Amino acid sequence: MIDFRYHLVSIVSIFMALAVGIVLGAGPLKGTIGDTLTQEVTQLREDRTALRAELDAARKAGVARDEMTTDARARLVGGTLSGATVALVVLPGADADHVEGVVGTLGAAGATVVSRTTVDESWVPADDDASASQSELASELRRSLGLPAAGAADTAPLDDVLAASLVAAETGTVTDAGKAALDALVAANLVDLDTADLRRASNAVVVGGLVKGDVVAERDRAANRLAGLALALDGAGKGAVLASDVGVTGFAGASSVVRAARGDAGTSRNLSTVDDVSLALGQVSVAYALVQQNDGGVGQYGLGDGVSAAYPPVPAP
């Protein structure tokens, strides 16, 4: 009975408050409330119009800057990488237009892309059987390349194999062991190699894409493993740059290799990243970041989280 009376009193109180509000609104406060609401609505409309104008102006400015950077790209990077050799590694999900934009920019900078390797999704093993198969293959290839045996905790024993086959501080022809290792990786459907004149490069540029999937943990695991491959390529030569396009706020339902690299302190201390490779600005940043790597520097560049700056230091003429 007490609960019923409590609810009854509450309901009556609500209706009384509504009735008082209606009476006041229709009576002495009618004009004041109406004027206030009208002023607020008018102000909101004016704010919306002003914000729309600012957004349109920002979009126009952004388009103009992108067009100018695209047109001036060859002059911006010309000669900055003269004589450099680059191993291009394309990760799963990378956009073909982004890849070609990077290749064109490296060429304009004077660099020569001496190999182009496309990494298959199976590089990140899907289960224990796939992991065991990769570990067995890695043991054989690491011995042939003179690499130390992988430790028990090493979850990516093939990263160093691919890196040692494609990149070296002192460039030159790929060794017979390196060719055999690359052939084995191709035969295992882990990579696809596209090159007419295979040589080991002094630098590596890795172009990635978004890692998609329904399970967040699996996406993040794949992103971290691919970031580890980029770090191995960095360590094998004079330096590497990992480039992708993650957007200013990121993408829902996907993980980013660049974000994974930046999220690991050991990786970000050595590997440079660029997160706006879809833009001419980002493609120019790849070339400048590679110059910085060759000078012993490192940085994280773009428009997303965890950046050092929007773009790397501009090399001296």
Task: Give the tens place of pLDDT for each residue, 165-224.
Answer: 999 988 777 888 999 999 999 999 999 998 766 889 999 999 999 898 889 899 999 999
Residue 290 shares a structural domain with residue 144: yes
Q: Comparing 19-33, 132-146, 240-254, which segment has the lowest mean pLDDT?
A: 19-33
Number of separate domains in the chain: 2
pLDDT at res. 176: 87
Query: Could you give the CA distance from residue 25 to residue 21 in angstroms, rounded to a whole number?
Result: 6
CA atoms within a 13 Å half-sphere pointing along the CA-CB vector of 101? 24
87 with 116, same domain: the answer is: yes
Total residue length of the chain: 317
Residue 11 reports pLDDT greater than 70: yes
For residues 9 and 252, give the distance between their C-alpha atoms in angstroms, rounded to a whole number: 48
> How distant, in Å, are the alpha carbons of 129, 167, 196, 229 from that of 155?
13, 21, 32, 11
Whether residue 171 is found in the same domain as residue 280: yes
Residues 212 and 112 both lie in one domain: yes
Q: Are 120 and 269 part of one and the same domain?
A: yes
User: What local confidence, expressed as pLDDT, does residue 248 receive?
Assistant: 53
Share of the chain above pLDDT 70, in %: 86
Report the share of the chain in percent with pLDDT over 90. Answer: 60
Residue 10 has pLDDT above 80, yes or no: no
Count of CB atoms situated within 10 Å of the CB of 193: 16
Same domain, 96 and 13: no
Helices 280-294/96-108 angle, 10° precision: 50
The mean predicted confidence, pLDDT, of the chain is: 87
Rounded CA gap, 85 and 201, in Å? 5
Question: Do 45 and 157 lie in a common domain?
Answer: no
Assess if residue 130 is contained within a domain.
yes
Residue 182 domain flag: yes
- Please report which confidence band the pLDDT of residue 27 belongs to, taking 50, 70 and 90 as the band edges: low
User: In this predicted model, what pLDDT tens digit does every residue of 65-82 receive, in sequence order?
Assistant: 777 677 777 888 999 999
pLDDT recorded at residue 272: 98
SS3 for the chain is: CHHHHHHHHHHHHHHHHHHHHHHHHHCCCHHHHHHHHHHHHHHHHHHHHHHHHHHHHHHHHHHHHHHHHHHHHHHHHCCCCCCCEEEEEECCCCCHHHHHHHHHHHHHCCCEEEEEEEECHHHCCCCHHHHHHHHHHHHHHHHHHCCCCCCCCCCCCCHHHHHHHHECCCCEECCHHHHHHHHHHHHCCCEEECCCCCEEECEEEEECCEEECCCHHHHHHHHHHHHHHHHHHHHHCCEEEEECECCCCCCCCEEEHHHHHHHCHHHHCCCEEECECCCHHHHHHHHHHHHHHHCCCCCEECCCCCCCECCCCCCCC
One domain, residues 38 and 113: no
Q: Cα angle vertex 222, ends 220, 225, to 5°?
A: 110
Are 142 and 277 part of one and the same domain? yes
- The pLDDT, as a whole number, for residue 54 is 79
Asked if residue 308 is part of any domain, the answer here is no
pLDDT tens per residue across span 277-312:
999 999 999 999 999 999 999 999 999 889 999 999
Confidence bin at 7 (pLDDT 50/70/90): low
Is residue 309 included in any domain, yes or no? no
Asked whether residue 107 falls in the same domain as residue 180, the answer is yes
The tokens for 87 are: 């191993």
More confident residue, 48 or 224: 224
Contact call for residues 89 and 196 (beta carbons, < 8 A): no
User: Parallel, antiparallel, or unpaired for β 239-243 and 203-207?
Assistant: parallel
Residue 70 lies in a domain: no
pLDDT tens figures, 74-119? 888 999 999 999 999 999 999 999 999 999 999 999 999 999 999 9
Structural domain for 14, as ranges = 2-58
